[in-house]
Amino acid sequence: MMKLVIGNKNYSSWSLRPWLLLQYFQLPFEEQLISLAAADMHAQMAPFCPNYKVPVLLDGSLTVWDSLAICEYINEQYLDSVAWPEDIGQRARARAVCAEMHAGFTQLRSCLPMNCRREPAALELSDGVKADVGRIIEIWQQCLSLNGNSSGEQAHFLFGRFSIADAMFMPVVSRFHSYQISVPADVRQYMEHMLNLPAYQLWLKAAQNESETIAGAEV
């Protein structure tokens, strides 16, 4: 059985991404949690990963680290590629927005850390965070408008069906909720659908039951 090594569910946005993909498609896996605040985290991670970071997927003799690489492996090995859009153009677009999420939005990441237990409340946003928020909303609106049906009904997911793109953006959905980011109606509908996914609700319940606090993520 696959094993996914993750960090604290309350804080580890990178761990959430492949965990959500596995859980959404109901693939069997074990999980091992290593505290992000553990003084000996490097020692605990050493048997699993060369860069000492979560998440890490162990599948037999194979070790895959980095959340996007893990999602790609799961999709190819276990999902017959259904976690990317079928259309080649849409698949390219999905990969592009995932890569942008993976590499960018540094102001959002640093100023609005994922904290699933946080009582939802707004903060004053810096110009850098506002720019990141604006670009994310733009991505979501473009994807949703392209993937709604002919009668104008809003798409539930960014590319029609649940994909790696939704998994990659799930921590941002969580952040937007926690920090009460103002969004247009179509984005709000998408966020509500994502927040109510049974897979995410399982993660959220576990996160809320964690007791460890990481001061730097309590904004």
154-193 pLDDT, tens digit per residue, is: 579 999 999 999 999 999 999 999 999 999 999 999 999 9
Is pLDDT of 140 > 90?
yes
Instruction: Kindly state the average pLDDT of the residues 53-69.
Output: 97
Among 171, 173, 218, 164, smallest CA distance to 193 is for: 173
Looking at the chain, the whole-number percentage of residues with pLDDT higher than 70 is: 97
Give the integer Cα–Cα distance in Å for 119 and 108: 18
Question: Does 151 score more than 70 pLDDT?
Answer: no
Mean residue pLDDT of the chain comes to 96
Between helix 88-103 and helix 67-78 the angle, nearest 10°, is: 150
pLDDT in tens, 36-53: 999 999 999 999 998 999
* Alpha-carbon span 102 to 114, nearest angstrom: 15
Amino acid identity, position 10: N
Type and span of the H or E element at 38: none
Contact 56, 41 (CB under 8 A): no
Q: What is the pLDDT of residues 16-43, one digit of tens each?
A: 999 999 999 999 999 999 999 999 999 9
Question: Residue 70: pLDDT above 90?
Answer: yes
**12 pLDDT higher than 50:** yes
Q: Tell me, what's the pLDDT at 138? A: 98
pLDDT mean over 102-107: 97
* Residues in a beta bridge with 180: none
CA dihedral (122, 126, 129, 134) positive or negative: positive
Q: What is the pLDDT of residue 175?
A: 98
Task: Provide the whole-model pTM.
Answer: 0.96
Question: What strand order describes the sheet that includes 62-65?
Answer: 29-33, 2-6, 56-59, 62-65
Is the CB of residue 186 less than 8 Å from the CB of residue 192?
no
Q: Are 203 and 15 in contact (CB under 8 A)?
A: no
pLDDT band, residue 148 (cuts 50/70/90): confident
Nearest to 11 by CA among 43, 35, 40, 38: 35
CA distances from residue 118 to 121, 145, 176, 208 in whole angstroms, order as listed: 8, 31, 12, 9
Q: Name the band, by pLDDT with cuts 50, 70 and 90, for residue 153.
A: low
- DSSP H or E segment with residue 59: strand 56-59
